[in-house]
A and B are shown apart, each in its own frame.
Chain A
Amino acid sequence: MADEEEEKEEAIKEDDHGLLEASVADIIHNAKRKRQMEKKVGARLGMMRHLYIILDASESMSIQDLKPTRFLCSLKLLEDFIEEFFYQNPISQLGVIITRNKRAEKVSELAGNSKKHVKEMQNMQQIAPTGEPSLQNSIELALKSLRLLPSHASKEILIIVGALTTCDPGDINETIQNMKTDSVRCSVIGLAAELYICKRMATATGGEHGVALDDKHYKEQLNAHIDPPPAATRLDAALVKMGFPHHALHSSANDSTMAVCIHAENSDESVKLLSTGYLCPQCLSKHCELPVECRACGLTLVSAPHLARSYHYLFPVEPFKEVSYSGTPSTCYGCQKILSQKDKKVYTCNKCNQTFCLDCEIFIHESLHTCPGCATNQDTYQRSTDRI
């Protein structure tokens, strides 16, 4: 346990009142800014992500340093993570594996719909964490499915580990080598302390390795995986054939066609009969939700906005310049807040030279992804769309 404590102490410093919270908040803030700075215009990103989450469900996950326990806290945070992951990466897929009693179990297969995964997460709350984890077994299990994917897909594994040991049947170095050959990016979030093998695994495959300091920091570490990673240069590019189905709202004569509702089918609910849905343009089978892989002909069906939702990664708003407030202009260009000397720092866009308050700066970069100044200027509004 000694090294565990040491690890945590390294990063944390007490503030003047002897509190730790502020310093953790600082770490989070700095990480956010750093992440924002790293976003570069036109960077190549792996958009079609395939991510396996490997969750440790061993004895050590029942420790209560994260409330209520490491395991339950992880499940809760992962639920949010999954929702957010699919919101931001709509044409990506995700699967979950847990490891306990020296084995690996696949909880949910790679799939592109959040509802099913979230449900599995909720079911898992009943599981009692027991035994030892096995990194090698679970990675090999994930690799089995990731290996089959075409080379243009980005393949990732995210390991969440609370234990400080692993029980492996063979040489884990071979497994690392396998991941490298299959160009799988493996990241690790430790809940206890940094493990040498995890660190090596992450560095060797181009992933990230971090240790959560508390639940907020843990969440922050997870969120770092929502943004797509810069595509490894060895990743092959490809043009993928996709269908853009029509909205079959009250579709004409044969209203009785049934929508194939895979989400309902997989759970215990009976297959829902719906008259509305989307028609696959290739084989005309009907689906009730997008995005989905057509069950009949295998064509990936998406709607144009699904693709558009990911565009802001490719064309992020450039970071604004931080300047101290000099008295002009009198209002923030975005929210119309009246600026005063209390706003020590204001932010200006390099392109349109409009001034924004701190809150708008954060809002624009984190949610809106469009600069109001540029969007209301005839010369700059097409900043990122000049290609359309």
Chain B
Amino acid sequence: MSNTISGKNLLRPTGLQCKNLQEYLKSRPPEVLNKLYHNPPICLAVFRELPVIAKHYVMRLLFVEQPVPQAVIASWCSKLHFEEHQKVVLILNELNVWKEASIPGGLPGWILNTTFKKNLKIVLLGGGKPWTMSNQLEIDSKPRDVAFLDSYALERWECVLHYMVGSQQQEGISADAVRILLHAGLMKRDEADGSPVITQAGFQFLLLETALQVWYFILQYLDTIEARGLDLVECLTFLFQLNFSTLGKDYSTEGMSEGLLTFLQHLREFGLVYQRKRKAGRFYPTRLALNIATGQNKPLSRDPEKEGYIVVETNYRVYAYTNSNLQVALLGLFCEMLYRFPNLVVSILTRDSVRQALKSGITAAQIVGYLQQHAHSKMIEAGPPILPPTIVDQIKLWENERNRFIFSEGVLYSQFLSQTDFEVLRDHALSTGVLIWQSERKRTMVVTKAGHDDVKKFWKRYSKGSS
């Protein structure tokens, strides 16, 4: 335990906070939520992200018009999984998917949110207005195939990442994109010359899976959307329409509002959609836009980029079958490079190289996660475990080495006039559970920041009473 009284800057770096769709929506005000539920694609996206049991509750209630008693719904779930049931109920409440309603007779019941129900039914059964981008189109004279779209999307996205790591093959990205990177805290202006440089959070961002990166980036973008004069609901709806579109198919821009067209151009820049020309009248969604909301835990299946390229051996050597400078640069964050061949890079994990990465704010879990995500298919076949357990353990041990100190913020009390004064105050702090450290010999004690007010009040009362 340490008696350092820490300021904020001494606190351990926290992991990059990336909300999933549910958390994002929960943090929106209810009226926005309700507005969003007017759009079938959003209802579908919300439905997909619900826990499995919740999905079945919704399915069972979808064709029921009256409220259903809460006790009846509780009986749908087996007694052994009651906790899960409670969690599900909470989530459905928070997301405003259902609401309480009393049943004639006074029993409490639940009824699905009518807007949500109506629009989920539209998604499933049809009806309603067509989605904005589904206007009729002539057949494209030069249709683009999936392979082309994949390479296009990857190229655009890597462009952003390249810019962040500042590797040499830098291509210009627009000022807008830079602004988002700055806003997201992934980069910051260098104090000396004002040029953007990567931050700790930026390094962590680089190690995320592509799908997660895109989702994080879009979340940050959405934060700034209203400042750009765009309508959040409209843009979100469009985003989820893209989410549920078909890869390799073209969609029409006809009938889109001015704001949406601007939004589309932004998406185009990051490689989420492909357009031959700005005014082409048609666009192709790419794999990056597809499954955008599933980012959290469901990886894109058969993603060409997910072809793993990393082989980790128990002797700490890391072989990467790649010729991408970006991937090499990322590996270089926590590995020491040994040799480079046209299609292979050999590197080694050392205590120093890993500590270097930890110092820049990357966590052991992120390193392990990165190696695991990009593990070569041969390693996946040989697994589980995919990575040699000794390596995983060692990386974690190297991280723990750095955590011999536990930092906690607190307030120091010292210079007590008498031992009894000290003991009274210390015992009070101890009994309320806010004492962090004390030394009887030095008559010094530290209480938590939260407990400070209470202890101070107690001290005032105490000293008044005794004087």
- A–B direct touch in complex (beta carbons closer than 8 A): no
